[in-house]
């Protein structure tokens, strides 16, 4: 039995299948549903868990070489929220693009992790890096 780290079996199963250049979406509570995409729904109530909490846990288990976000995130959120996201993604290149373009990347992802986050456009597409070893 696991004692530390990610305990959710569905999320662990999803992460175990990610290989180099695969994509994983971490999304807020209002993000659209994709019929053919595996969804791990971690939402409990508004704000729990947050996208950043899930990112923090995933970063311990996944090498991330790129993150995509909607440019609307920068337009809709205050400086403190933008700062928290920038700190959480420190060391990973982030590309901002129009939300419509962002959503076109979603169907090619391994899966989508839905959170209870209420931050506007707090959706991330993580691109996995190489596994060293």
Please name every residue paired with 43 in a beta bridge, in sequence order, or none if there are none: none
DSSP state of 48: B
The two three-digit tokens of residue 106, written as one number: 């979603």
Q: State whether residue 85 is helix, strand or coil.
A: helix
Residue with tokens 């979406």: 25
Q: Rounded to the nearest 5°, which phi and psi values hold at 23?
A: -115, 145
Residue 20 among the catalytic residues: yes
Q: What is the DSSP string of 20-60?
A: TT-EEEEE-TTPPP-TTSEEEE---BTTBS-HHHHHHHHHT
Catalytic residue among 13, 20, 90, 99: 20
Catalytically active residues, by annotation: 20
């Amino acid at each position: 039995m696991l004692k530390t780290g990610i305990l959710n079996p569905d999320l662990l199963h999803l992460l175990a299948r990610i290989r180099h250049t695969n994509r994983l979406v971490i999304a807020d509570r209002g993000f659209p549903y994709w019929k053919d995409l595996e969804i791990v729904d971690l939402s409990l109530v508004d704000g729990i868990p947050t996208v950043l909490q899930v990112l923090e846990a995933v970063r311990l288990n996944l090498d991330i070489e790129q993150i995509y976000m909607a440019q609307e995130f920068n337009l809709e959120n205050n400086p403190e929220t933008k700062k928290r996201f920038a700190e959480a993604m420190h060391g990973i290149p982030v590309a901002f693009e129009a939300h419509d373009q962002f959503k076109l990347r979603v169907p090619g992802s391994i899966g989508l992790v839905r959170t209870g986050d209420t931050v506007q456009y707090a959706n991330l597409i993580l691109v996995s890096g190489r596994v060293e070893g």
